[in-house]
A and B are shown apart, each in its own frame.
Chain A
Amino acid sequence: MVRTARANCSSWRIIFVLLFVLAALFTLPVAASPQQKNSKEELLVLPGEIGRSGGRLVVSLRAEPKTLNPLNAPDISSREVIGAMQADLVHINRATLSTEPALAKSWKISPDGLQYTLVLRRGLKFSDGSPMDADDVQFTFRVYLDEKVHAPQRALLIFDGKPISLQKVDSQTIVFQVPKPYAVAERMFDGCAILPRHLLEKPYKEGKIAQLGALTTAPNQWAGLGPFRLKEYVAGQRLALERNPYYWKTDTKGNRLPYLDELVFLFVPSADAQVLRFQSGETDVISRLAAENFSVLSRQQKDYTMVDAGPGLEYNFLFFNLSDPTEKTPADIVQRQKWFRDVKFRQAVSSAVDREAIVRLVYQGRGAALWGLVTPGNRRWADEKLPHPPRSVERARELVKEAGFSWGAAGNGDSWLQDSGGKPVEFSIITQSSSAERSKMAALIQDDLKQLGMRVQVVPLESRSLLDRVTETKEYDACVLGAASTDADPNVDINVWLSSGGLHLWNPSQTHPATPWEAEIDRLFNAQMYARTFEERKKLYDRAQEILWENQPMIFLASPDILTGAKKSVGNFRPAVLEPYVLWNVEQLYLRNEAVNATR
């Protein structure tokens, strides 16, 4: 009797336990915290050092970000912050410079190269917990392509004057149609952050979407798919982001990324103050360092490591004013343009410029001399056949002599170069007063050309005044300027290469190519854009680089190294040569010793 009762009791206990387990199994997915992996989620597993969760990373920004809205963020600081809060379908890995799956787990290109079918990961959620699907993608690209929004991403989505189109197949699949087979079209997805339709569709319909994303936005009114989400903004002081608990990447052990709890951007308006704050331990990582500051920090390094990531994608160059004169162009500039238009004159200047001295004196050896637009940091696209002749004043002298120039004696015993009409070769080089490096380059060029008998004045100008002269009034002789490619692929520099481009600085926005060699560059560049294989594209692009070298409309000078530093306690610190240099893998950065960080 007792045994039966005991048996009954244990049966009930088993049934009760089974019911409990079943109930737990049903309720678990609902009650599970976002930190835990949901079986319906397709998370991206990142290889790399396993970090420890928690802690706060502090970074300084030279300027305050202006917006959180990816639709109107032209400044570096805003892009850096947005980069930590948003994600794209396909991403360019800043370490390998190749594309890799991001929100889209895979993509397939149709045999004719006109269709890109992207499949989204399952279980994606915005940082406010709302699900993300193909409707959000459709909405995003409708906004980017809308002319009234003026999004910079629109230019990436227009091919040969025609926009891309897209069609939703199901909630996970979207087909993108490109008007023409386009080489590496998947790269266009990098930088096109997917927008939250549930938050932005209404303001978009009301025509107010560009006004959204002010830094004062309430954290619950802004969401993204990046590793961090908005926590707090203090005007003029800092912007704090917190961990996005719904982020879609894990490490190889299945820990959901990012490791850090908080990412704080401090606004530090001067480069020297940034260095001092890094030195004193108030910030954890530093980038965009000048060579002088990098040397000082390298000498004094105690609890931080300085890393020279090698030459980046910035190229500095000298160019002459080859634009067509108008009625307003001063007569003396028109007169000097006759010299500048002579290719032998430009080649002579190129030959007389000491690029190695520029690297040594301007970048303290932390840079690379340049003979073409593609920097050594972009190994895949640099043309190895491009000549790298050392500086030769003798060769420069021969070239100007062949161009009909001669030397006349000056009163003080020096000899000065003069043209066939006896006019002394004298011109000015304008440069940005805000860039100490470029001002130094112009001064070194002035000295180099003096040895050739040219009298050069260096005129530092405020940046916008300089651009106004170069692109609007065209009242200048020559200019030292710099630019940085935003991707390793040549297509991003289309406005520099094409004669119709606004960044074809020596003679911008031409209606028809002014010279046969510019027409040939246009043809080669357009052909490489639509060539299907890398080898074919490389061959065409190499030839375009060679024509540029032969004609020297831009005399390339040097490319600086990407100089960075981080506290030794920061794990997974691997600076890249493409922006954002130190935060490109922010989801993997972690703090080895949280105690150090917490004492601040």
Chain B
Amino acid sequence: MMHYLLRRSVHAVFLLIGVSLLAFAFTVLAPGNYFDEMRLNPQITPETIAALRAQYELNQPLPIRYVHWVSSVLHGNMGFSFAYNTPVAPLLLVRARNTLLLTVTAMLLAWGIALPLGIWSAERFGRLSDRLVSWGTAALLVIPDLALALGLLVIAVKMGRFPIGGMVSLNFENLSLAGKLRDLGFHMALPVTALVLSVLPLLVEHVRAAVAEVLGAPFLLAAEGHGIPRRTLLYRYALPAAANPLISLFGFSMGTLLSGSLLVEVVMSWPGVGPFLLEAILARDIYVVIGGVLLSTLFLVGGNFLADLLLYWADPRIRTESNA
């Protein structure tokens, strides 16, 4: 077990170093820099811009900047934001918290719907009800996320029941605990719905396909022949047997927790990483962008690590292989 964990950890560290190198190279080598936009401001002289570039080490060679940045990461700052004139880590973490609140809720809800719906659909494989589910998921799949989010916003404006954006009301601090939770829930309703609708088709189809494949297996036919009730058959025998690809998918979906909601956050003014990263990319606030990429990679690595552990626990074949 320890050997298995150690091997996965070493892989994760190499992956993080590789991603940081690539993210750094691509971001830094992109044409233009943060201070270019200042050139269009007639009040700012070229000398001031040159001095600022020097102050923020934009004139230094790439390897030196990378080493300084790595040192900053090790000190917990993740570089320095040109725009905010402060270290990146605190800026990113406060927004990452908001993003996680949104995406974890949406992910739990999406899996909570996808598992029973996928199993229900697989059980009726080929029948009209299964086809209806397939058509529904296909329809959701072809609607772009942007259209989905904007459509929900338009409905919300027409209904006038839900807030159009933001995370809490202006009088949030004056509300009771129940009032605060209700207010937060109201604000989360639209973005969570948009996120659930965007990931649901993929999850339902995966669960459906995995369970349908297992349902035709001889051991299940034998179990059915022994008179085991259908419900027990599905949830106790079929689902664990179909779990492997679903656990991998779960691990992967953890990786998208930070980056998966970027578009929805921008459209719905959710104060998460999305609007912050988009602005940083457009403004070439490079250390914010690299910080965002690194944090997403960390989540992906963490998700895969968790999935590996779950697979190790769920699948005896992996235990045997890694112990061998």
Q: Is A494 a contact of B42 with CB atoms below 8 Å?
A: yes
Q: Is A236 a contact of B95 with CB atoms below 8 Å?
A: yes
The CA-CA distance from A544 to B158 in the complex, in Å, is: 54
Of A118-126, A176-184, A263-271, which binds chain B?
A: A263-271
B315 touches A (CB below 8 Å): no
**A277 and B94 contact, Cβ closer than 8 Å, known pairs A150-B48, A467-B36, A502-B46:** no
A18 touches B (CB below 8 Å): no
Q: Mark A572-590, 1 if CB is under 8 A from B, else 0.
A: 0000000000000000000
Most buried by B among A147, A234, A269: A269
Partner of B275, one of A152, A210, A236, A468: A236
The CA-CA distance from A98 to B182 in the complex, in Å, is: 51
Shortest Cβ distance from residue B158 to the other chain A in the assembled complex, whole angstroms: 10
A462 touches B (CB below 8 Å): yes
A95 touches B (CB below 8 Å): no
The CA-CA distance from A465 to B284 in the complex, in Å, is: 10
**A471 and B163 contact, Cβ closer than 8 Å, known pairs A210-B85, A465-B32:** no
Shortest Cβ distance from residue A439 to the other chain B in the assembled complex, whole angstroms: 16
The CA-CA distance from A272 to B149 in the complex, in Å, is: 12
A495 touches B (CB below 8 Å): yes
Partner of B33, one of A150, A462, A464, A600: A464
* B-side contacts of A333, CB under 8 Å: none
Q: Is B83 a contact of A237 with CB atoms below 8 Å?
A: no
A448 touches B (CB below 8 Å): no
Of A62-70, A410-418, A422-430, which binds chain B?
A: A62-70
* A-side contacts of B51, CB under 8 Å: 147, 150
* A-side contacts of B166, CB under 8 Å: 237-238, 266, 282
Partner of B36, one of A215, A216, A277, A471: A471
* B-side contacts of A216, CB under 8 Å: 90
Partner of A66, one of B45, B83, B160: B83
The CA-CA distance from A280 to B169 in the complex, in Å, is: 14
- Residue of A whose beta carbon sits closest to that of B167: A237
* B-side contacts of A469, CB under 8 Å: 31
* B-side contacts of A236, CB under 8 Å: 94-95, 98, 167, 271-272, 275-276
Q: Mark A230-269, 1 if CB is under 8 A from B, else 0.
A: 0000111110000000000000000000000000101111
Most buried by A among B85, B165, B278: B165
Q: Is B170 a contact of A600 with CB atoms below 8 Å?
A: yes
Q: Mark B11-51, 1 if CB is under 8 A from A, else 0.
A: 00000000000000000001111001111111111101001
* B-side contacts of A434, CB under 8 Å: 282
**A464 and B36 contact, Cβ closer than 8 Å, known pairs A267-B271, A269-B278:** yes
The CA-CA distance from A336 to B39 in the complex, in Å, is: 26
Partner of A150, one of B41, B52, B95, B153: B52
Q: Is A237 a contact of B85 with CB atoms below 8 Å?
A: no
A526 touches B (CB below 8 Å): no
The CA-CA distance from A465 to B282 in the complex, in Å, is: 10
Shortest Cβ distance from residue B45 to the other chain A in the assembled complex, whole angstroms: 5
Most buried by B among A69, A214, A270, A503: A270
A257-301 interface (Cβ within 8 A of B) = 264, 266-270, 272-273, 276-277, 279-280, 282
The CA-CA distance from A468 to B35 in the complex, in Å, is: 10
The CA-CA distance from A169 to B150 in the complex, in Å, is: 61
Q: Is B275 a contact of A267 with CB atoms below 8 Å?
A: yes
Shortest Cβ distance from residue A143 to the other chain B in the assembled complex, whole angstroms: 14
* A-side contacts of B294, CB under 8 Å: none
Of A31-39, A153-161, A198-206, A550-558, which binds chain B?
A: A153-161
The CA-CA distance from A434 to B86 in the complex, in Å, is: 27
* B-side contacts of A214, CB under 8 Å: 84-86
A452-502 interface (Cβ within 8 A of B) = 462-469, 471, 483, 485-486, 492-496, 502
A127 touches B (CB below 8 Å): no
Q: Is B37 a contact of A463 with CB atoms below 8 Å?
A: yes
Q: Is A276 a contact of B40 with CB atoms below 8 Å?
A: no
* B-side contacts of A58, CB under 8 Å: 170
Most buried by B among A154, A156, A235, A464: A464
B168 touches A (CB below 8 Å): yes
- Residue of B whose beta carbon sits closest to that of A502: B46
**A238 and B41 contact, Cβ closer than 8 Å, known pairs A72-B85, A214-B85:** no
* B-side contacts of A463, CB under 8 Å: 32, 36-37, 282
The CA-CA distance from A72 to B33 in the complex, in Å, is: 17
- Residue of A whose beta carbon sits closest to that of B34: A464
B306 touches A (CB below 8 Å): no
Shortest Cβ distance from residue A418 to the other chain B in the assembled complex, whole angstroms: 33
- Residue of B whose beta carbon sits closest to that of A262: B170
A397 touches B (CB below 8 Å): no
* B-side contacts of A147, CB under 8 Å: 51
Q: Is A269 a contact of B164 with CB atoms below 8 Å?
A: no
Please give 14 more A-B residue pairs, beta carbons under 8 A apart, in addition to A264-B170, A282-B165, A494-B42: A74-B41, A150-B55, A155-B43, A216-B90, A236-B94, A266-B269, A272-B267, A273-B268, A462-B282, A463-B37, A464-B32, A467-B32, A467-B39, A496-B42
- Show 17 residue pairs from A and B whose CB-CB distance is below 8 angstroms, ordered by the A residue: A64-B275, A64-B279, A150-B51, A155-B45, A214-B85, A214-B86, A235-B271, A236-B98, A237-B271, A267-B269, A268-B165, A269-B279, A282-B164, A462-B32, A466-B32, A467-B36, A494-B42
The interface of chain B, by Cβ under 8 A from chain A, is 30-33, 36-46, 48, 51-52, 55, 83-86, 90-91, 94-95, 98, 150, 153, 156-157, 160, 163-171, 266-269, 271-272, 275-276, 278-279, 282, 284
